[in-house]
Amino acid sequence: MTQPTLLFVHGWGLGAGVWRPVIQQLGKPPHMSLDFGFYGRKKLEIPNDRPLIAVGHSLGFLWLLQHLPEAIWANQVQGLVAINGFARFSKAEDFPNGVDRCVIRGMKNGLQRDPVKVLNDFRVFGGGPGGDLIGEEAKQRLDVMALGYGLGWLMEWDGRGALSQWQKPLLAIANSDDNIVTPDITKDSFSGIAKGKSSIEWLDEGGHLGLLSRPQNYGELLGKFYRSFL
pLDDT at 194: 65
Say if residue 1's pLDDT is above 70. Answer: no
Say if residue 38's pLDDT is above 70. Answer: yes
Percent of the chain with pLDDT over 90: 86
Residues with Cβ within 8 Å of 138's Cβ and at least 6 positions away in sequence, in order, are 15, 39
Q: How confident is the model at residue 40 (pLDDT cuts 50, 70, 90)?
A: confident
Report how far residue 109's alpha carbon sits from residue 149's, in angstroms, rounded to the nearest whole number: 12
Is 147 within 8 Å of 94 (Cβ atoms)? no
pLDDT at 141: 87
pLDDT at 131: 60
pLDDT one-digit tens code per residue, 127-173:
876 666 677 877 888 999 999 999 999 999 999 999 999 999 999 99
Residue 51 carries which side chain, given as an amino acid letter? P
Say if residue 196's pLDDT is above 80. Answer: no
Q: How confident is the model at residue 2 (pLDDT cuts 50, 70, 90)?
A: confident
Average pLDDT estimate for 56-64: 98
pLDDT at 133: 61
Q: What is the rounded average pLDDT for all residues in the chain?
A: 93
Q: What is the pTM of this model?
A: 0.96
β-pair partners for 57 = 83
Fold observed for domain 5-93+153-227: Rossmann fold (3.40.50)
pLDDT at 5: 98
178 alpha-carbon distance from chain centroid: 13
128 alpha-carbon distance from chain centroid: 16
Residue extents of the structural domains in the chain: 5-93+153-227
